[in-house]
Amino acid sequence: MIRKGRYKYVYLDGADHQLFDIEADPGEWNNLCGNPEYTDIAVELGGVIESRFDIASITPDINAKFAMQKIVQSAMHTNATSWDYQPYFDARKQYMRADKSKKYIRT
């Protein structure tokens, strides 16, 4: 992904690329790639990505990470958990306290 001013370009190896005008479309719903009016900016930003990265050498690593994400998502769906899962923890049971008779009780 590269951003220049109001434009955000997403390079997707082996798939359609994406170009968004993030000022006019902050939710990134309207892909401008393929629109003749935006061809120059799409070619420019795509060229920057291709000149800075060896796409062929990083693609296998990216694909492996996507495959791992699918495995994790499937497991989380099966177990009804989410990325921000927080197990329940009752802090009242963490410490021992003394009552007035100096007997220690778990709270």
The phi and psi torsions of 20 (rounded to 5 degrees) equal -130, 145
In a domain, 106, yes or no: no
Q: What is the DSSP letter of 69?
A: H
CA distance 44 to 4: 10
What is the domain extent for residue 44? 2-79
The CATH number given to whatever domain includes residue 64 is 3.30.1120
How many structural domains compose the chain? Answer: 1
What angle is formed at CA 29 by the lines to CA 54 and CA 70, rounded to 5 degrees?
A: 55
Global model pTM greater than 0.85: no
Q: Is the pLDDT of residue 60 over 80?
A: yes
Q: Which residues of 21-37 are buried (b: 16+ CB within 10 A; e: fewer)?
A: beeeeeeeeeebbeeee
The answer to whether residue 94 sits within a structural domain is no
Q: Using 50, 70 and 90 to split pLDDT, how confident is the model at 79?
A: confident
